[in-house]
Structure formats: C-alpha cells, structure tokens
A and B are shown apart, each in its own frame.
Chain A
Amino acid sequence: MVQPLDHLKESPSQTAGPYVHIGCTPNFSGITGVYPQDLGHEMITGEVSGTPIRITGRVLDGTGTPLRDAMIEIWQPDAAGLFNSPAETRGRADPNFTSWGRAASDMVTGEFAFDTVKPGAVPYVDGRLQAPHVTLWIVARGINLGLHTRMYFPDEDAANAADPILTRIEHQNRVRTLIAETPGKGHYHFDIHLQGPTETVFFDI
C-alpha cells in the first residue's frame, strides 16, 4: 500500500445547451430587469490607448451551417500586452479596457461581433514573444467541452511566422485556420469551422 493521493478531479463539463443565453446574456435573450446589462457587452469603458478594432465572425458546423445559438467569449491583453486581471503581475493594464468580452451569435445570421483594441504581444513560457492574438472560447448546444482557440492577425506576417504556438502546429497548412481576414480597415473577420477540411485548430490548454 501507498499513501493515497487526495487530489480532486475537475468537475466534468456538460454542454451549455440551447439556452445558455438565459444565464449568460439574459438581456439579449429578452429577460430584462434582472441584470442592468449583459456581462462582457463592453470591453472599452472609457478613453483607451491603442487601435480600436472590430472583430466579427461565425461558428460553422460540419455541414457549413452557421450556429445561431453559440456563445463566444474573448480574452486578450490591452495594446501594451497587459491583461486586466489580478493574476497579471507584469504591470497594470489600461483601466478602461476589460480584456474580456462576451457575445451571442446572432439568432438569424449567426454572426458575432466585438469592439475591442488590437492586442499587444505577450511572452511565451520561455520568454519569446507570441504574435498578437485574441483567445476565443466557444460554447453551444452539441459542444460537450468549451472550445479554446486563437485568432491571429493577417497584418502580422513576421510575428506569426515566429510564433511559438503557430510553429508548433504539425500540419502547417492548418495555420491559416487561425488567421483572420480583413474585409476593411480596422475590421477583422474570423470564421470558426468546427469540422471539415478547414476545421479550425482547437487548443488543449
């Protein structure tokens, strides 16, 4: 016999289901008067440094149909590369930037949108800089465990080419699934493919 390890197991995930909006974006779902506004609705709360950008996108299933019941959260540093989080120890982030946003995909078109700033770079575990990116977390009916991925920028070729995560991807032809399109100045569009030949790279982190 040996001493038992008394570590606990993480609570198993369960799908967010079709009614995630009731709990996470109640005003969006028509339940008003409980919370003054939906959490994560605004990432910029005042005068903010850096370049304002708009991120739009869709989440598409294996048949190419956009999900109309997904919830997407993003997490990113401010323009200087600092997170608005107590766990950020490198400095103080822009007080008018929350680092975190939450959006429901549109119930008709499936499109989601975030108004944010272009993120700065953050170091990897070995000190190398990671290319500027936005982390996304996607939950919906039919998704059993929330999906982590990242959106990188099409105007950061040199940084992307040196990025410690992007260069780690075995099938380099899949790197492009993590790079946004830019339909206009300051506008980045990022479609997330759950399946198929262009399946987005999802992260086990």
Chain B
Amino acid sequence: MTNGYVNRDRRWHPAALTPDYKTSVARGPRQAPLSFPTTLVEETGPVFGHEMLGRHDNDLIVNFATGDGMAIGPRIIVHGQLRDEFGRGVPNTLIEVWQANAGGRYRHKKESYLAPLDPNFGGCGRCMTDAQGFYEFRTIMPGPYPWPNTMNDWRPAHIHFSIFGQAFAQRLITQMYFEGDPLIWRCPIVDTIPTREGIESLVAPLDMARTVPMDARAYKFDITLRGRRQTLFENRMEGL
C-alpha cells in the first residue's frame, strides 16, 4: 500500500526569491504554492529502458570526440548511489548530466566566455542506475567559470544532474560540487541553499578507493530523492 510521497521540505531547498542570485528576482514566483497530497498523477512517472542508452552515453571523454580523440582535462569517474529518503536504492532510473569543459567553457550558442571550446568535448552524458540504485559515468573535471551577476562572480567547478526517479513527484535537477573547491563558499547560486549542511550534501568527496590507477580519479556523489511512504494502515481524510 502506498500513502503518497513525503512532502518536499521547502525550508531545506532554496527559496524562489534569492536576491543575491539576481535572475531569481524576476523569475521566482511570489505567491505561496498550493499544497495537496500526491495523487496518481504525481506518483507515476516516465521510466526509460537500459536499451535506450548508447555505448558511450556514460563516457563524456569520448562520446563527442572524433576518431580516437579524447576530451582534454583531468580524467575522473563520478559514481554514487541514488536512494530515497528512507535509504532505499532507486533502481533503473535515468540520470542526465551536463557540464563545462576543462577550461570552464560550455558548448552553447549563448555562451560567450573567452576560454576555448574543446573539439572533442560536447558536455552531455547519461546513465541509468542499476538494480540497487548505483550509477557511474566518466568525464573530465569541469573548470570554474565567470558568470554575469555582480561584476566578479565565479561558479565553482560543477556538474549539472537531472534525475527522474520513479514518480514525477521525485523529479529533480541539482548540481554536484567538488571537495576542496574554495569557490563553493563564494557562489551566490550555491548560497541559495539555506543551510551549510544542505550545501555540503552536494559536495562530492575524492574517492581514492574507486580511482583507476594511472588513469582517472574518482568522486563519490550520492543523491537522495523524495521518499515514498509505506504503511499497512492507509487513512486518508475525506476531502483532503
């Protein structure tokens, strides 16, 4: 029996209006959102098959490269477990990632940073969690980059993550940061997260145990999605 998904803790997530991140001022909704229990609409969601993945989808070092080319930059493996708030692994779920190249440049029409493009780096990848919720992909360490906010704001090195889960209620986009990056504590976007504990939950530690010797370092990034309540006793109030 399911009893819906645990409510999102909106004091744990960034608020809609965070003036130090200027773009949120005109784009963050001002009215209070309408709360109601998850229904079938939110408790279902798209699920994709492993067969959808191409051979190099999970390898950003080669998935855009031509011939024997490889992307330039420090080689890393990013791995971790996708689980829910009750610690249960979330299996067979699509994770999409995107990032800047080693110089901090995105391959995008609207990107104007003077750092050069890497002809062998596209910047997108995807993978699926296994039966226990574990995932892994290979890439290069993205560079930090300046962005227009105040005159001198820099994003810490980061990888963007889009995660589906098993229900539309679990849909989440977030960013992974790297242990030891001093820019984390200077970034207005990171700072939209209200607590230090919340920020630290997005910082991946260096994981020497999963390093491939003489090849690639590893970073471990566990991700938590909303939990689905389970109880033998379902008691929903009439009209709620």
Asked if residues B124 and A34 are in contact (CB atoms below 8 Å), the reply is: yes
Q: How many residues of B contact A (CB 8 A)?
A: 88
Stretch touching chain A among B4-12, B68-76, B127-135: B4-12
Asked if residues A87 and B166 are in contact (CB atoms below 8 Å), the reply is: yes
Q: Which of B14, B30, B47, B198 sits near A195, CB closer than 8 Å?
A: B30
Interface residues of A in 135-151 (CB under 8 A from B): 135, 137, 139-148
A22-50 CB contact bits vs B (8 Å, 1 = yes)?
Answer: 11101001110111100110000000000
Contacts of A86 in B (CB 8 A): 47, 166
B162-188 CB contact bits vs A (8 Å, 1 = yes)?
Answer: 100011110111110000000000000
Within the complex, the shortest CB–CB distance from B11 to chain A, in Å, comes to: 11
Q: Which of A18, A73, A169, A205 sits near B42, CB closer than 8 Å?
A: A205
Interface residues of B in 33-75 (CB under 8 A from A): 33-48, 54, 57, 63-64
Contacts of B168 in A (CB 8 A): 75, 135, 137
A8-B85 CB under 8 A given contacts A31-B64, A126-B239, A199-B29:
yes
Interface residues of A in 94-119 (CB under 8 A from B): 98-100, 107
Contacts of A107 in B (CB 8 A): 109-110
Asked if residues B12 and A10 are in contact (CB atoms below 8 Å), the reply is: yes
Contacts of A98 in B (CB 8 A): 46
Q: How many residues of A contact B (CB 8 A)?
A: 81
A3 at the interface (CB under 8 A from B): no
In this complex, the member of B18, B37, B108, B236 whose beta carbon has the largest number of chain A beta carbons within 10 angstroms is B108
Within the complex, the shortest CB–CB distance from B60 to chain A, in Å, comes to: 9
A144-B87 CB under 8 A given contacts A14-B14, A205-B42:
no
A31-B123 CB under 8 A given contacts A9-B224, A85-B47:
yes
Contacts of A195 in B (CB 8 A): 26-30
Asked if residues A125 and B29 are in contact (CB atoms below 8 Å), the reply is: no
Q: A35-B57, A85-B45 are in contact. List 13 more A-B contacts (CB 8 A).
A: A7-B227, A10-B224, A22-B106, A31-B124, A34-B54, A34-B122, A88-B40, A122-B40, A125-B236, A146-B173, A194-B26, A199-B29, A202-B34
**Which residues in B have some Cβ–Cβ distance to A below 8 Å?**
4, 7-10, 12-16, 18, 21, 23-31, 33-48, 54, 57, 63-64, 83-87, 96-98, 106-111, 122-124, 126, 160, 162, 166-169, 171-175, 189-190, 192-193, 197-199, 201-202, 223-227, 236, 238-240
Task: Give 30 pairs: A residue, B residue, CB < 8 Å, sorted on A.
Answer: A6-B87, A8-B85, A9-B85, A10-B9, A10-B13, A11-B224, A12-B174, A12-B202, A15-B14, A16-B162, A16-B173, A20-B162, A23-B160, A26-B124, A33-B64, A75-B45, A75-B46, A83-B40, A86-B166, A107-B110, A124-B39, A142-B23, A144-B14, A144-B192, A199-B31, A201-B31, A202-B31, A204-B7, A204-B10, A205-B169
